[in-house]
Chain A
């Protein structure tokens, strides 16, 4: 039984193993054993495996153990066997264990054999032990001990310490064999990796002990090893640094440099290049006048060549002949002169001229003689050198140079010659004689004179001597000295010996001149000689010739010390001439500083050596290609070369003599023939940089590398040569180092295979260029894609580029092309006004450049842009202490959504219209019966005291409503309109939420584009008027037939941008109500009755309380803006560094105390430079015109000035500069641009106020609805006034409706004060800046005001606006608006009431004059008088003029056109009042008229 079990176990185990082995390498999908009840799972192999075991176990066991049985054995629930005994249960447990074990094994790796055996043994033992009694387990023995010696002995059997001694070679090689060194036999063995000797020895010893066979050792007795796998050179492509030359082997293609459009062209001064200029450098060749490889013969030949050249040059000049002719001419002149001069009697001048001639003759003769002598010596030297060559050739028995000298003899007629010679000599001798005679004469004269002197002196001497005797002794000393000067007795000059002179002349002539009758020798140098072929030459000479063949030369062209190109590498010829014949066209930008040629020599495949530098002169501006002559420029090198062959070397002494005497040292030298000239452009204009550039040494970074030349440097031009070289140098073809070379050679030798002699980075590019670049550019689709990747604004968000070209409309590109085309052209059509058009263009350009900068910045990421991570310890630990769920939860802000994830329809504008105050109420339409005066009440009356004057006397039958007004609010945004229900009364409360969808331009929801949304939210208040239009009174009982009309009362305009940047807008806004609202009036008494506080009544106007927000909450691109600001800060500043630091410090201190309050010390001007803010404030004169208007009313003047400033159109920076940065322009720039945001308005207003003598400050704070903004604060008679520079309105400090809600800092012309009071609301603040506890000033005692100069101009100059242009503009606007209104009413006929229009037109100037005040009554009266028959509703709109579009938008928003009564008539009048500096105030009067029945 036990035996059986054991057998079973064994079988099972082996089965399990085999199964394991099967399974693990290939987990194939296995066949399931037809058991359908099992549910199939897809989880994995393991599950299946276990299940299989289970399934197999269900089978009935046969009698004997098989593989099937073995599996069955591992099952949990096999059938009870007939032989049940006690061990069965144990066994079952055992087997369970086994199964588990098996499974574990399966999951791990296959167990090794040993482990398996041990397991088996254990199991067997265990099984055996089961039968034994407990006693058998207990046995007591003494502890075993082994003696140390035994252990050591045992250890010795097992352990082995390899020695580190060198193993003798005989042990390593097989018996009776000598080590064989393959390397010596010429096989390539490769280089072994470096292993220290000691380690090698240890390994060898170990191997010898362990393995008796010597299979580990090679034939050479060393351990077998593969060659070193480490490559000698890195396979990583080298990184090209711009300083180095481009790697040889790269073919570079010249592409014209394209300047990036992402350049700031407008902000920072641009250096526009003046175009390209071209310099042509023609390198025709190179001649060595000495080279190390010159043989002696060559040296001589070179010398001969030089001499011959010299000779030729001399002969060409023929100085001798020239001088001889001159001499003859002079002689003739001498002969003729005396005759011609004598009759005149001016003997003196004749004599002078004579002398002059003579002197010249003398000089010329001397020159001629020298020349003649030179000629002769030259000829002699030539002959001498030639003789030397000949002797050398004889000596060395071979010729090296083809040089050959012929001497041509020109026979001359002996007689004539001699005669000439004789006459010449005679003439010369005569002249000389004459000369000498003259001299003699002169000398004689001198002699006589001297002699005379001497004589007199002698006489005097004698007399003195006589005297002397009589005189005293003491005088003697003094006189003695006089006598010391005793003149020598002059000797008479030698008389001239004619014969001697003639002899002298003759001798000289013989020496320097051709003898008479001697033939004229004309040397002729030819290269017709034959060079001894190599075979006949001695070895040294052959070596020399071989050496020359290996040498090649190329030239690098350096422009302004930068390599721009190089010639091909050319082999040096046997005659040491190299022909290049290359012309390099250098495209340059600047006047060249230097042009240098570097001569490089390559020897074999070795390194290239710089031989010499040749400096070429920069050509004159008159030297053009084609006209420039080839010039030879010499060079020489100081290199020292010694050669072991016939070559004489360079810089080394050598000699022609056999004994080595008479040594000469020659340096490598040569001549480069080249020409440098300016190229001529296609249209014939020479491409020469302007001379003004000549002095400006701007280094041009232009590089151009000739591809082929660069390979030349590597010496791989000739494949055949390479192969030859490889054969010669006995390269081991098996050496992997040479593999690439060998392959190349085989390819080259195999025949026609074209091996490009350059390397391309993208070799297959050409093949993949399935279409040419031009064709690609023609493809509209490709263009579209291209523009999109370039982020061209028009295409930046183009979606779904069509597949086919034909599906792309041509008009897609129209806008873009137009924009590109119009860049320089100023379009007047859209702007109606040239000045504004220019400004718009300028702004557009500035914007573009800022956007381009921004685009660059956008692709510059900071970590914070990419990752969110918790802040540093301090704050985070503090947060840790925070309760997870506080009992009193604080309100959490809405989750902010980054805008870029959004798409159309995701964003909504929520507007909560709460209530309105003080809405104008309807006035009973005064029929003709009523007195107009009845309704007219003084408008200027601020505190309305009259009690309920407005009794419900609505007697007019067609007004149904009994209420004063039924206002409702309509919000329009992006042409979507939404309205509230209608409320009643002048103080309605709607409390309604309106929802408007928002669409971003081009569906681009990126932060940038969101910030540049220019759309405004118009909140219009209308009055709903019901008219009964029942025709028939009889039906009144049965039906109601009314018409609803809406009358515009006023509007609030909130730019979307403000909303976006602020997140939400919450507050009470003043409604812009037209100054004249026909049919309506303000009901002040009601307010009073309801007991509103008195402040309210101070501010006349209508107010609306709103809450606006964007859903979801968008994250304004603050980070981008700050980053940009940071970037801009990096631009240089003209401010003092100390001041900037102080500003930074001030900033930090302020931010620490009141992080929310705005603190501004430095701003960025239009040039992108940081400027200290106080520099912007300076008294500036307002237009004189405004000052003259109310000369004695300062208050009115101030208001007028404020109005003027407000009339300058408002253009937020964030729109113009897409929220990137806040650029401040100075007041004159502002007035020129005629657009700016709050800061510019405020600065200008503040400057005006300062000029008016007021105390004025700039207030930086936040207001509704603008958000962070700038206001102006003035001190007027015991109260502070806050001016809104953009609207021109002013508020008292305690005005509750003042839009300024918080004050951050005040800025004066000489200081900045930061608000450190508890509150920042103007109402609760103290504006006394002298109190340091309330205001922290920037400049204090520790940092005194340094007296910063202003950036503002000295004075503003105002031009008068062209009235005619304004009038023209007025007409055009009127026409456009009329057209628009007709356009908006497509289904109705639009009639224009001309009479009314003209009436309205008369009113408008009046309105302007009174600034919209105090006219209503007269106006209304007038209107009523004139248009009594009409029901009239209309109003004037007043705006600052910037563009036409806002005007149209404003008219549209009033909804005048919405009236669709059939008999309605319209009236529209436009008036433009021109203020100085092109500031235009636009009045639009729109009215609708319905004829009363």
Chain B
């Protein structure tokens, strides 16, 4: 849900630890541009399916999905509208995650003005930074909007390796993650 903005698209990428490897699916992608719905809620709906499977030897570095939303400003420049990240749920099943999004702020008023004027808002050098904590202390951000994700997670052989993420019986070796992004 991005109250002020329209015509947004989102990019996603996965951030995962060294012990993880994607076995199928794209770990980075970009969605279509969507406009606001005509109804009162004015939601932006992408209905963009992402399908990815990971395998790993170590839960350390459990994958996170990083969403960054972009859209044009009044001058038509493509600017970032929000960054957000969430861990893929550990528990298999269907999960709905609403990620609060945020954008970096300009460092000064003057900068803010020019950046607005020029349509060159501050951006992270790498969207994957939002999945890590390191170095974030130098940035100032403002929250704007939410992104809702619907994630369907299937795991395999977790219990066999001693990771009991669910009381239900599981027999999985790799974590298959099927997520579809709905953005509000």
A residues engaging B (CB < 8 A)? 44, 46, 107, 785, 788, 797-803, 859, 861-863, 865-870, 872-873, 876-877, 879-880, 898, 900-901
Contacts and interface: CB of A to CB of B under 8 A. Distances in A.
B76 to A, nearest CB: 10
Given A800-B18, A865-B135, A866-B139, A876 B126 contact: no
Given A46-B39, A799-B19, A803-B58, A867 B139 contact: yes
B161 A803 contact: yes
B129 interface: yes
B169 interface: no
Contact of A879 (B56, B58, B118, B124): B118
B168 interface: no
B111 A872 contact: yes
Contact of A870 (B21, B57, B111, B124): B111
Contact of A901 (B56, B126, B134): B126
Interface in B13-31: 18-19, 21
Contact of B18 (A44, A797, A861, A862): A797
For the complex of A and B, the 3 pairs showing the least CB-CB separation, nearest first, are: A861-B135, A869-B122, A870-B120
Contacts of B124: 866-868
Contact of A861 (B21, B104, B114, B138): B138
Contacts of A46: 39
A801 B118 contact: no
A866 B123 CA distance: 8
Given A46-B39, A867-B139, A868-B122, A801 B19 contact: yes
13 contacts: A785-B60, A801-B57, A803-B161, A861-B138, A863-B107, A866-B139, A867-B104, A869-B122, A870-B114, A870-B115, A870-B120, A873-B110, A876-B118
Nearest to A860: B135
A866 B135 contact: yes
Given A861-B135, A870-B115, A898-B125, A799 B18 contact: yes
Nearest to B107: A863
A862 B120 CA distance: 19
Given A862-B138, A866-B135, A785 B58 contact: yes
Contacts of B19: 799-801
Given A785-B60, A867-B123, 6 more contacts: A799-B18, A861-B134, A861-B137, A865-B138, A866-B124, A869-B122
A505 to B, nearest CB: 94
A800 B122 CA distance: 35
B110 A872 contact: yes
Interface in B87-109: 104, 106-107
B74 interface: no
Nearest to B136: A866
Interface of B: 18-19, 21, 39-41, 56-58, 60, 104, 106-107, 110-111, 114-115, 117-118, 120-126, 129, 134-139, 161
A1267 B58 CA distance: 44
A863 B135 CA distance: 9
A863 B126 contact: no
A794 to B, nearest CB: 14
A865 B58 CA distance: 30
Contacts of A900: 126
Contacts of B129: 866
B18 A870 contact: no
Contacts of B111: 869-870, 872
A898 B126 CA distance: 9
B110 A876 contact: no
Nearest to A108: B40
Q: Which of A44, A801, A865, A867 has the most CB of B within 10 A?
A: A867
Contacts of B106: 869
Nearest to B116: A870
Contact of A107 (B40, B117, B126): B40
Contacts of B60: 785
B125 A868 contact: yes
Contacts of B125: 865-868, 898
Nearest to B161: A803
A803 B106 CA distance: 45
Nearest to B162: A803
A1104 B123 CA distance: 44
B134 A803 contact: no
B120 to A, nearest CB: 4
A721 B23 CA distance: 66
B135 A876 contact: no
A876 B139 CA distance: 22
A859 B136 CA distance: 11
B114 to A, nearest CB: 5
Contacts of B57: 800-803
B122 A867 contact: yes
Nearest to A807: B57
Given A861-B134, A867-B104, A898-B125, A876 B18 contact: no
Q: Which of A107, A865, A869, A880 has the most CB of B within 10 A?
A: A869
Contacts of A785: 58, 60
Contacts of B121: 869
Contact of B21 (A800, A872, A880): A800
Contact of A788 (B18, B41, B110, B135): B18
Contacts of B123: 867-869
Contacts of A797: 18
Contact of A880 (B107, B118, B134): B118
Contacts of A44: 41
A863 B139 CA distance: 6
A157 to B, nearest CB: 44
Contact of A872 (B114, B134, B161): B114
Contacts of A800: 18-19, 21, 56-58
Nearest to B182: A42
Contacts of A877: 114
A1486 B107 CA distance: 64
Contacts of B21: 799-800
Contacts of A859: 134-135
A801 B61 CA distance: 12
B162 to A, nearest CB: 9
A303 to B, nearest CB: 67
Contacts of A876: 114, 117-118, 120
Nearest to A46: B39
Contact of A863 (B18, B56, B115, B138): B138
Contacts of B161: 803
B59 to A, nearest CB: 10
A781 to B, nearest CB: 8
Contacts of A861: 134-135, 137-138
